[in-house]
Amino acid sequence: MAQTKVKQLAEEVGIPVDRLLARLEAAGVDAKGEDDGISDEDKLKLLRHLREGGSSVKTDGDSASSRRISLRRRSTSELKLSGSRGAPGKTVSVEVRKRRTYVNRAQESEEAAKKEAEEAAEAQRAAEQAEAEAEQARRDAEAEAERQAQLEAEEAARAEAEAAAEAAKQQAEEADKAEPETPEEAPAAAPAESEVPNKRQPTRAERMVDHARSRAQENLRRAAASHGRTEQDAERERERGKRKELHVAEGKQGRRKKKSRGRPGRVQMATEHGFERPTAPVIREVEIPETITVGDLAQRMAVKANELIKQMMKLGVMATINQMIDQDTAVLLVEEMGHTPKTVSDSSAEEELLEELRAEESGTEGKPRAPVVTVMGHVDHGKTSLLDYIRRAKVAAGEAGGITQHIGAYHVAHDKGLLTFIDTPGHAAFTRMRARGAEITDIAVLVVAADDSVMPQTKESIQHARAAGVPIVVAVTKCDVQNADIDRVKNGLAAEDVIPEDWGGDVQIVPVSSMTGEGIDDLLDALLLQAEILELTAPDDVPARGVVIESSLEKGRGPVATVLVKAGVLKRGDYLLAGSHHGRVRALFNEAGEQVKEAGASIPVEVLGLSGTPEAGDETLVVANERRAREIADQRDERMRESKLAQQQAARLEEVFSQIGEDGSGEAKDLNLLVKGDVQGSVEALTESFRKIPAEEVRIRIVSSAVGGLSESDIELAAASNAIVIGFNVRADAKARKAIQENGVDVRYYSVIYEAIQDVTDAVSGLLGTELREEIVGLAEVKDVFRSSKLGAIAGCLVVDGTVSRGLPIRVLRDNVVVYEGELESLRRHKDDVRKVEAGTECGIGVKNYNDVKPGDQIECYERTEVQRKVVEAEASA
């Protein structure tokens, strides 16, 4: 017979061993200890006893406990999460506690129902708790491990859910199992069990199982979503983070890595991009100077330099980023890239500045200023001695040590006023200054030695002064010498049309001696008197401007420039522009070597602080700031470089007439001529004839006429006076030829007087007319030739230079030899008729009445323009 031990039975029914022993004793079963065996018969005995009223068996419990029996079940399971990527694994203990109490419904049906509901709720809570723990475990796992862990978490969640479901199922089964037993085996101990088989018991079990299953499914779904989110999950994520996508990554959120959501409480910044994609291409107005680098142009168009270089390659131009391109090319490129070009002159900034200065000066009243004097004359006549005497006697007078320094100019305080002397004697310096456009001299002192009278250079000096329109005061030097003859000097001067005052003319003649100092004060008086007549004034409350007299690079001082102020007051600290250099005036020194704070009109000063050494004759301007100074200096530098390449614009005979009225004034224009001939007779004949040419619109001026070959001085005078040189049976010497080349002076040689007169006559009367000049505007290379029944031979070409336009005359070249001249009949691009085709573009060209065009030929497209006709070719090299 099968025997169960008391202990086992007590465990099975869930009551203490003592209590079971008491009940067994009451039922008459002989069982003393927990290890005593109980047979089936004993069990039935106990059951019978219990049915018969065993419920009232007194135990140490209360009466209520006799009416019910509680089954407690605790199941513990372990959830093992293996770590990934080196993270340690984790074990989560899951404990499910369940308690079920069976109540005798016969006695407490209502109460039992209530209790049952509570128990069911408790069971439900227990299951939920288990699931909550599983959920927590899943979250932890999610945080610690990534994809691999998720997969395992999925597994674990499923296992756990199944465990929970299993637990619930087991419980339900147990309840089911208890059902048949209860009415027979333990009616007293568990009277409620007689009622267990009612309909509610299995329903509840099923419900719990269903619930556990649905939870398991939910867990599964979440686990799966953690590494492959569904659309709803993404939406939820967006909602949670309030994160908005960039338009550039639309629909690509799945690619992004999960990022930290920042510190709690931190203000969530909008992550939307600030840049908005333009809706239409931006068309810019691009300023184009006369020359520009590729890189700079690209920057102005806001495109990458590479893009621009590519575009240039398309047009057939190979260029690097730092390459300079001219304005025309730049304009073409800007148009090609869809922007609007705006050409600006290199001198625009300077013009603007000068315009401002002019406007400022025009409204300002001029103040009297000292005259600026230049000393000229024949060699050894005493120019340097005179200047030295004045400087020594007048500048250094009263100064300690009497040290003076040569700065190119100095000023003298005489009893009656101030005078400024240019310290470089001779007309060469004077002319050079003039040639550079610097008209700084107010009065010319013509030095003539009393013992020598008028000499060739005296005459030249007179001509230079006249050409510049500068009044002359004659200083007859060496009056102290024995053979001094002032009357002879006066005679010589009168022969040159310099008439002394005492002879009824307007030229003051002052005898002086640089040895004794005799007459020096009279000379200064005469100069001041002349200045008074000239009424020299300059505004002083305008930005200072002046002219560079000379400059040098000095050790320890840097670039030093002597500037003669023409208007305004130059001060220390001013931003000065001098030629193509600029800088802030660091210090100013006068001719005595003393530092001064400022210098007004007609005062020469040494300026320290410039970026380089400007050239004599360069204009200086004070500008508002360094940026402007640098801008204009750069433009001037650029212009200078260009002018070195291009020949200086000198007057040309054929342009004389065409320039009439160009300035819009309608006034007569001067035609300056410098005449040199082999003999006096021919020179006189020429000058007389020129003066007699009837010209209404052109006024002929003979700047100089002399016998002899063309000298450097002649060319300099012609350049400074914008004169045309007429050489009759004479040629230029080597120095003069060099000067001709440098200055671009128009020199014409004749051997027949009539021809010279005729040319000048034609020039001033406009009879030179115009001639047609050709300009090649485009060149195309023939790549292939197609035959068309309608159009004949069509040359498939690539335009390699310039522009090929319809309606212009063309030439067909074979090996650089013209083989045909004609017209362009058709110009096509991709079967479309076009008006013009730019360089770098392919096109089809049909040549009118010419079918013999071959691959390799070149088609030149040219334009005819009218230009002033040239009379006689200058033979400068002769």
Ligand X SMILES: Nc1nc2c(ncn2[C@@H]2O[C@H](COP(=O)(O)OP(=O)(O)OP(=O)(O)O)[C@@H](O)[C@H]2O)c(=O)[nH]1
Going by the annotation, the residues of the binding site for GTP are 377-384, 423-427, 477-480
Contacts of 353 (CB under 8 A, 6+ apart): 621, 623, 628, 632
Nearer to ligand X, 98 or 478 (CB): 478
Nearer to ligand X, 513 or 721 (CB): 513
Interface with ligand X includes 596 (CB under 6 A)?
Answer: no
State the minimum distance, in angstroms, from the CB of residue 433 to ligand X: 17
| Beta strand ranges found along 214-260 (DSSP E) | none
Contacts 24+ apart (CB under 8 A), 487-495: 488/453, 489/448, 489/450, 489/453, 489/454, 491/453, 492/448, 492/453, 492/454, 492/458, 493/448, 493/454, 495/454
Please identify, among the stretches 23-31, 305-313, 477-485, 612-620, the one whose residues bind ligand X according to the rule CB under 6 A: 477-485
Q: Give the integer Cα–Cα distance in Å for 224 and 216.
A: 12
Please identify, among the stretches 380-388, 407-415, 610-618, 805-813, the one whose residues bind ligand X according to the rule CB under 6 A: 380-388
Site size toward ligand X, by CB under 6 A: 15
Q: Give the integer Cα–Cα distance in Å for 602 and 589.
A: 15
State the minimum distance, in angstroms, from the CB of residue 514 to ligand X: 4
State the minimum distance, in angstroms, from the CB of residue 380 to ligand X: 4
Quick one: which of 98, 105, 222, 383 contacts ligand X (CB under 6 A)?
383
Q: Give the integer Cα–Cα distance in Å for 583 and 610.
A: 4
Please identify, among the stretches 154-162, 215-223, 256-264, 379-387, the one whose residues bind ligand X according to the rule CB under 6 A: 379-387
State the minimum distance, in angstroms, from the CB of residue 680 to ligand X: 27
The two structure tokens encoding residue 756: 């010279």
Nearer to ligand X, 429 or 876 (CB): 429
Please identify, among the stretches 327-335, 337-345, 507-515, 831-839, the one whose residues bind ligand X according to the rule CB under 6 A: 507-515
State the minimum distance, in angstroms, from the CB of residue 453 to ligand X: 14
The DSSP line for 459-496 is HHHHHHHHHHT--EEEEEE-TTSTT--HHHHHHHHHHT
The two structure tokens encoding residue 578: 């001098």
From residue 810 to residue 849, the character string flagging contacts with ligand X as x (rule: CB under 6 A) and all else as - is ----------------------------------------
Pick from 308, 332, 326, 331: which is nearest to 318 by CA?
Answer: 308
Which CA distances in Å does 58 have to 21, 193, 318, 337, 378? Answer: 12, 20, 117, 110, 160
Nearer to ligand X, 67 or 378 (CB): 378
Nearer to ligand X, 478 or 737 (CB): 478
Quick one: which of 171, 404, 513, 705 contacts ligand X (CB under 6 A)?
513
Nearer to ligand X, 489 or 726 (CB): 489
Q: Give the integer Cα–Cα distance in Å for 124 and 211.
A: 9
Quick one: which of 381, 459, 636, 652 contacts ligand X (CB under 6 A)?
381
Q: Give the integer Cα–Cα distance in Å for 434 and 427.
A: 10
The two structure tokens encoding residue 789: 């029944």
Which CA distances in Å does 537 have to 269, 472, 547, 605, 834? Answer: 69, 19, 16, 19, 63
Nearer to ligand X, 303 or 481 (CB): 481
3 state SS of 596: strand
Give me the count of residues in the chain. Answer: 878
State the minimum distance, in angstroms, from the CB of residue 404 to ligand X: 17
Interface with ligand X includes 124 (CB under 6 A)?
Answer: no
Annotated binding site: 377-384, 423-427, 477-480
User: Which run of H or of E encompasses 409?
Assistant: strand 409-414
Please identify, among the stretches 378-386, 390-398, 757-765, 866-874, the one whose residues bind ligand X according to the rule CB under 6 A: 378-386
Q: Give the integer Cα–Cα distance in Å for 871 and 763.
A: 8
Interface with ligand X includes 328 (CB under 6 A)?
Answer: no
Interface with ligand X includes 384 (CB under 6 A)?
Answer: yes
Nearer to ligand X, 212 or 616 (CB): 616
User: Which run of H or of E encompasses 683?
Assistant: helix 680-692
Nearer to ligand X, 514 or 613 (CB): 514
State the minimum distance, in angstroms, from the CB of residue 430 to ligand X: 13
Please identify, among the stretches 21-29, 225-233, 413-421, 473-481, the one whose residues bind ligand X according to the rule CB under 6 A: 473-481
CB 724 within 8 A of CB 652: yes
The DSSP line for 183-250 is HHH-TTTSGGGGTTTSTHHHHHHHHHHHHHHHHHHHHHHHHHHTTS--HHHHHHHHHHHT----GGGT
Quick one: which of 206, 380, 501, 554 contacts ligand X (CB under 6 A)?
380
Q: Give the integer Cα–Cα distance in Å for 444 and 162.
A: 121
Interface with ligand X includes 481 (CB under 6 A)?
Answer: yes
Please identify, among the stretches 499-507, 508-516, 588-596, 792-800, the one whose residues bind ligand X according to the rule CB under 6 A: 508-516
- The position carrying tokens 């060739």 is 456
Interface with ligand X includes 461 (CB under 6 A)?
Answer: no
Please identify, among the stretches 243-251, 382-390, 628-636, 837-845, the one whose residues bind ligand X according to the rule CB under 6 A: 382-390
Quick one: which of 341, 382, 543, 846 contacts ligand X (CB under 6 A)?
382
Sort strands 832-833 and 698-707 into parallel, antiparallel or unpaired. Answer: unpaired
Most distant CA pair in the chain: distance in Å?
A: 183
The letter for the amino acid at 201 is Q
Q: Give the integer Cα–Cα distance in Å for 589 and 407.
A: 9
Quick one: which of 478, 566, 636, 737 contacts ligand X (CB under 6 A)?
478
Pick from 67, 69, 70: which is nearest to 107 by CA?
Answer: 67
State the minimum distance, in angstroms, from the CB of residue 484 to ligand X: 9
Sort strands 598-599 and 570-571 into parallel, antiparallel or unpaired. Answer: antiparallel
Between residue 774 and residue 793, which ones bind ligand X under the rule CB under 6 A? none
State the minimum distance, in angstroms, from the CB of residue 569 to ligand X: 33
Quick one: which of 246, 344, 359, 379 contacts ligand X (CB under 6 A)?
379
State the minimum distance, in angstroms, from the CB of residue 673 to ligand X: 28
State the minimum distance, in angstroms, from the CB of residue 862 to ligand X: 56
3 state SS of 210: helix
Q: Give the integer Cα–Cα distance in Å for 443 and 434.
A: 14
Nearer to ligand X, 711 or 805 (CB): 711
Nearer to ligand X, 519 or 559 (CB): 519
Quick one: which of 87, 515, 693, 793 contacts ligand X (CB under 6 A)?
515
From residue 245 to residue 274, the character string flagging contacts with ligand X as x (rule: CB under 6 A) and all else as - is ------------------------------
The DSSP line for 98-150 is EEEEEE-HHHHHHHHHHHHHHHHHHHHHHHHHHHHHHHHHHHHHHHH--HHHH
3 state SS of 704: strand
State the minimum distance, in angstroms, from the CB of residue 521 to ligand X: 15
State the minimum distance, in angstroms, from the CB of residue 516 to ligand X: 7
Between residue 417 and residue 446, which ones bind ligand X under the rule CB under 6 A? 425
The half-sphere exposure of 295 on its side-chain side, counting CA atoms within 13 A, is 4
The two structure tokens encoding residue 674: 């410098």
Interface with ligand X includes 477 (CB under 6 A)?
Answer: yes
Nearer to ligand X, 383 or 414 (CB): 383
State the minimum distance, in angstroms, from the CB of residue 426 to ligand X: 6
The letter for the amino acid at 370 is A
Q: Give the integer Cα–Cα distance in Å for 520 and 247.
A: 90
Interface with ligand X includes 70 (CB under 6 A)?
Answer: no
CB 300 within 8 A of CB 342: no
Nearer to ligand X, 514 or 805 (CB): 514
State the minimum distance, in angstroms, from the CB of residue 549 to ligand X: 18
The two structure tokens encoding residue 863: 């334009």
Binding site for ligand X (CB under 6 A): 379-385, 425, 477-478, 480-481, 513-515
